[in-house]
Structure 1
Amino acid sequence: MKDLPTNVSAYKKTPEFTEETIPVGLLKDHNTKAGVWGKIVILSGELEYTIQEPEVEVIVLCDSNHGVVEPTILHHIKPLGSVRFYVEFYR
């Protein structure tokens, strides 16, 4: 998993989600547009974050380990029990 580039700025943030309120689209493969990065911020609990390209990479995210979403790269998440998180978008 890559780090956020230093030359991007946050411009939008999702509401806080739980294992019961995660939008269905986040649970299946999806991507961001070209030039749009994401940061998955865990407030409590854990999420399994699967990056599909260029190789499959599975990472467990927690409050001390956020996820970075690269532009146009297919990925999905899966809650591992009770979880609270949000996603910030950067460009």
Structure 2
Amino acid sequence: MAGIPAILPAGLEPYARSPDFTPENLPVKLQAAHATKAGAWGLLHVLSGRVRYCLEPPDAVEVIASAGEMVVIEPQVAHHVSFVEPGCFFIEFYRAS
């Protein structure tokens, strides 16, 4: 893997959405290494504040997204998230149509 994709691949459709997460309700599971299932893509939408999205080693790539920005989450790629600045985000899940 060369890094975090800038956009979702063509042909995906949304199928689920997480609740809105804030520093007060961000699950510990999301702050530790985890991954989506095979075929499940995610799109992290930052509504306010700043969020750090980190790929786990061996990739060890990190991006900080601010309000209005999105981060693509690839299937089966271990990652974790944290707040850099308090705010709110949600994750929209996609799969092939």
TM range (shorter): over 0.9
Are the aligned partners of 2:55 and 2:78 in contact in 1 as well (CA < 8 Å)? yes
Match of 1:41 in 2: 45
Paired AA for residue 34 in structure 2: H
Number of aligned residue pairs: 91
**Could you tell me the percent identity over the aligned residues?**
35
Which runs of structure 2 are paired with 1:1-91 in the superposition (5 Å)? Answer: 1-2=4-5, 3-52=7-56, 55-91=59-95
Are the aligned partners of 1:53 and 1:73 in contact in 2 as well (CA < 8 Å)? no
Runs of 4+ in 1 over 3 A off after TM superposition: none
5+ residue gaps in structure 2? Answer: none
Whole-angstrom CA distance in 2 between matches of 1:12 and 1:53: 28
Paired AA for residue 29 in structure 1: A
5+ residue gaps in structure 1? Answer: none
Whole-angstrom CA distance in 2 between matches of 1:73 and 1:43: 23
TM-score by length of 2: 0.88
Secondary structure of the equivalent of 1:9?
strand
TM-score by length of 1: 0.93
